[in-house]
Amino acid sequence: MRREDLVCATVAVLAEAETVLPSWVEEAIRGAAERETSPIARSQFSAILDNIGIASEDGVPLCQDTGLPVFCLEIGRDLSIPPFLEEAIAEGVRRATEEIPLRPNAVDPLTRKNSGDNTGPGMPDIIIDLVPGDSLRITAFPKGAGSENGSFLAMLNPADDPLDFVAREVAKRAGRACAPVFVGVGIGGTFDLAARLAKRALLHMPGSSDLDMALLSEINRIGTGPMGLGGDATALAVRIETALCHTASLPVAVNLQCWANRSSSATVRDDGWSID
Amino acid sequence: MKTPISQDEVAALRAGDLVWISGTVYTARDRVHALLATGEELPVDLAGAVIYHCGPLIRDGTVLSAGPTTSGRVGRYTRDVVDRGVRLIVGKGGISEDAEALWGRAAYLAYPGGCGALAARHLLVRRLHLPDLGMAEGLWELEAEGWGPMVVAIDSFGGDLYREAKRSEMRSE
């Protein structure tokens, strides 16, 4: 694998993610817009759909919050992992920040000093999955603060009802998280595994199990609506992922994603790269 | 509505109305509000002004994307802002119980979150005040032309769409 290929693929997936929504996301928004009955909520959908058109037409970021750089790498088990892996992706982020451009969002958590290029300690955040094959698939999943700030984790009592808890909390937080939202739910595991399950649930969207659908309709029954202004569409999709947990524990994590559920993937091979 | 905004114009707004704005708009988010709360003089006159909870994406004097940021983080400064003469606050997500500081004086407008590219078509850069705060946190003076739709989410009489949505949440229990 050539270093320059991985750098270019990183810039390309960020550029596409920031300006064009995945088609299933846009379809989910259009579907909810058609079903929406509240006039105020319909005005929000109309602006959202105009915005989607303008961003892809003008090639500008959908949202000024271009997010923190989060990537998911699916690494083929037969691939020899290049020594420049993380460093080339960071280089791609710096180049994308300059070229697209992206807003510099990454700051030191204590001094609040901005690194200026969206990279630095811990950034980009790279999630690694091992898969069969000999190629590398890189997915950009830029994460804005509005929906990230609405995310939460709780160590419930095993006697509690985790789905009811999630529905109530999401309804309360979705307005500030730029609803209609996508809801990634992790139930079980340990403290940190629950959070990772929730993040992966977002990456594996949309969900389709009976439980996913039941939780989706429970969230939407509450009526928080687009941007918290009231309406039918509070969430567009839910996916629940679970892991075994300790008999004395019930960890529950929810990673919220705003309507601008941005992602884009590319595959990098020994002899080149292409957008998926 | 055209800036500067008069007291009568604010009093005519009711929760649920749709509004489009033309004229001068100042961005202000966490850092500008923190400055304001210390009593610091700002380089702009906020009498009759519109402030926008926004950290825009701007390149070479052009607004590329400029949707609202979450107002809840700066809601606690609402009284400071309104005391300086601000009559319209544009943001997203509402300001909860801090909305009381608006009553009789100002209104809160919701611009659809995430609609940065749409907003960019209606906003021109005039100048950047407080450049040391950086692109997102600086105080941008923008010129709006037919910028909307804004929903009057909280009016100056206490009408509040977020609270109404919450009430329907309680009814559903």
Q: Do B116 and A224 touch (CB under 8 A)?
A: no
Give the pLDDT score at B170.
Answer: 59
Instruction: For residues A251 and A257, give the distance between their C-alpha atoms in angstroms, rounded to a whole number.
Output: 20
Instruction: Report CB contact under 8 Å: A224, B54.
Output: no
Compute the mean pLDDT over every residue in chain A, rounded to the nearest whole number: 97
User: Mean of the pLDDT values across residues B128-146?
Assistant: 95
The stretch A126-145 carries a mean pLDDT of: 97
Mean pLDDT of B94-98: 92
The predicted-structure confidence for A170-195, as pLDDT tens digits, reads as follows 999 999 999 999 999 999 999 999 99
| B57/A103 CB distance under 8 A | yes
In the structure, what pLDDT confidence band is assigned to residue B73 with cuts at 50, 70 and 90? Answer: very high
Do you find a cis peptide bond into A61, omega within 30 degrees of 0?
no
The Cα of B5 is separated from the nearest Cα of chain A by a number of Å equal to 24
Helix (H, G, I), strand (E, B) or coil at A229: coil
Q: What is the mean pLDDT of residues A118-126?
A: 98
Tell me what pLDDT residue B39 has: 86
Contact A71, A139 (CB under 8 A): yes
CB-side neighbour CA atoms (13 Å) of B65? 29
Q: Which of B57, B59, B121, B150 to mutate to test the interface with A (most CBs of A within 10 A)?
A: B57
Residues of B with a catalytic annotation lie at: 33
> Would the pLDDT of B172 be above 60?
no
pLDDT category, B166, cuts 50, 70, 90? confident
CA distance B116 to chain A (A): 4
Q: Do B64 and A146 touch (CB under 8 A)?
A: no
DSSP-derived pairing of the beta strands B57-59 and A272-275: unpaired
- Give mean pLDDT, residues A216-231: 95
pLDDT score for A96: 98
The encoded tokens of residue A259 equal: 């309507």
* Interchain contact, B168 vs A222, CB within 8 Å: yes
What is the residue-averaged pLDDT of chain B? 94
Of the candidates B51, B56, B163, B65, which has an alpha carbon nearest to the alpha carbon of residue B108? Answer: B51
The whole-angstrom distance between A268's CA and the closest CA on chain B is 30
Mutate to test the interface with B, among A229, A256, A258, A262 (most CBs of B within 10 A): A229
What distance lies between CA B90 and its chain's CA centroid? 2
pTM, full prediction: 0.94
pLDDT at residue B173 above 60? no
Q: Is A111 exposed, middle or buried (0-12, 13-18, 19+ CB in 10 A)?
A: exposed
pLDDT at A207: 81
Measured CA distances, A193 to A30, A99, A200, A263 (Å): 33, 35, 10, 22
DSSP state, B120? H
